[in-house]
Each structure stands twice: as structure tokens, then as C-alpha cells.
Amino acid sequence: MKGPAVKSQAAPARRSFAWLQGLACGALATLATPEAVLLCVLLAPGILSLLLDREPGKPVARTVLLFGLAFSVEPVRTLWLGSMSMAEAAHLLSDLSVTGLAWAAAAGGWLLAELAPLVVGLVLDLRSRSQAAALRKLRAQHAEAWGLPGLD
């Protein structure tokens, strides 16, 4: 006779929304091709950082995309209010102030994401050293007031 049947616990269903994202990208490319082209070019550094960022939560990629997106709003608005044609999208992309600013902003986001942990670490280290020096000074004052031998 065999032992009690063990129910296998099925792994929780992992819902993949990749097909939904693909559908949304396909709809954007079909219905708003000039806008899709403009956004793909302006957000190219962010898209590249999404592919290269291996950290959980992709903090660097999110920062690069956020900064690039902030400088992509005005060109997209200009395209929407204009003729919404490929010619206008190409004209916007050929303007160095549009593409250059979006890419420079993305580079600034990358720089901020890389330097911020270093600066925060430096500030915290300086603060802890300052607190340690204040505590040593206070300890020396108490040792002198109580007549204790000098502590190192």
C-alpha cells in the first residue's frame, strides 16, 4: 500500500504581460508611427540602459529614462500640435537642440545615478567621523571630570 497521496503545489501562475506590451508597441507603431519614431530616437539612451542594467529594479535605467522623457515631452507636443507626419518627425530629429538635449538629459540622469551613491556615502562617512570625534571629546571631558585615567 502506498503512502498518502501528496498534493503537488503548483507554482503560482506567472502572468506574462510581454504580449500586451508587444501589442501596445505594435499599436503605437501602426497608429502613430511619427510619434513612435520620435520617441524611439529621443529615448534611445534609456532603451539601451534598460537592456544593459542588471540591477534589480533597474535604478540607473529608470533614471536615464526619466531624464530623457522629461526632455522629450516638448518635441512630442510639437509633433502632436503640428502635422503629425514623418516629415515633421524627421525635421524635429534633425534639430540638434531637440535630440542633443534629450540625450544630454539622459546622460545627466546616468551621471546622477552613478555619482549619487558615492556622494551620499561620502557625506555619511564624514558625518560619522564628526560624530565619533564629538563622542571622543565628550568621553575625555567625562574622564577628566570623574578623575579616570585617560582612555584611548
Please answer whether residues 79 and 34 qualify as being in contact, where contact means their C-beta atoms are separated by less than 8 angstroms. yes
pTM of the model: 0.70
Place of cell 530616437: 41
Question: Any idea where the domains of the chain sit in the sequence?
Answer: 26-114
pLDDT for 19 equals 84
Which of 43, 47, 50 shows the shortest CA–CA distance to 75? Answer: 43
pLDDT tens-digit profile of 6-52?
555 655 555 677 888 888 888 878 888 899 999 999 999 999 999 99
Please answer whether residues 34 and 78 qualify as being in contact, where contact means their C-beta atoms are separated by less than 8 angstroms. no
For the record, the C-alpha cell of 16 comes out as 506574462
Mean pLDDT score of the chain: 89
